[in-house]
Structure 1
Amino acid sequence: MSEPRKVPGEPTNDPNDFSELPLEMQQHVLQWIDQTFAKTKTIRRRLTSLSIRNMYNHAFADRDTYLTNDEMKGALIAAGFRFSKKELDRPNKTDYYYFNLQLRKEPKQ
């Protein structure tokens, strides 16, 4: 990633934000998702889109790979995962999604 990208200041609550990322970054995120998560039959309520986004941002903190929650939602949808919205007890600017996924026991090679 050559130039630092401008991250939106306010959440858009639109998973299509993922398609606005540079192609190289989209591929990097999708590869990480494929290596890190396995699909499950049912939607799991252990990890939200925000917690998965935090895992990704922490794993690549030394690179210009920061993702928003909306971009991560779009990446997981693009990777073929199904989702449901998390019900929140307070208003929020962006929705959190649960997905039909679990962490792989060992990273996929």
Structure 2
Amino acid sequence: MLKEIHEPLPARRDQNAYTLGKISGHNVVVAVMPEIGNNAAATVVTQLLNDFPSIRFGILVGIRGGVPGDEGEDDIRLGDMVVSQPTATFGGVVQYDLGKRLVDGVLRGQDS
């Protein structure tokens, strides 16, 4: 994926595993999550931004489920690519795993 791979930086205090390189003339940092989950992703991103404060863009890549649309709206299905841009009042990411709809149509929350 990387056109050029840079030498690793000396390890500091973090637990993240980084690969440094270049894509189309842009320096890139690739971080691999040590485990799955929202908390692990938040921890990796927080540490990455502390270690590389000049990062301008972030891309989170993974496999997730979908988000059903309301009647007449498009669904977001497994395999779709979603691009978001944060604003002054919205971070650009929405957590949508608060429950699941059962076969009989009942919505069961995480706590149920």
Q: What TM-score does the superposition give when structure 2 sets the normalisation length?
A: 0.29
- The one of the two structures with greater contact order (alpha-carbon pairs below 8 A, sep at least 6) is 1
Q: What TM-score does the superposition give when structure 1 sets the normalisation length?
A: 0.29
Report the structure number with the largest CA radius of gyration: 2
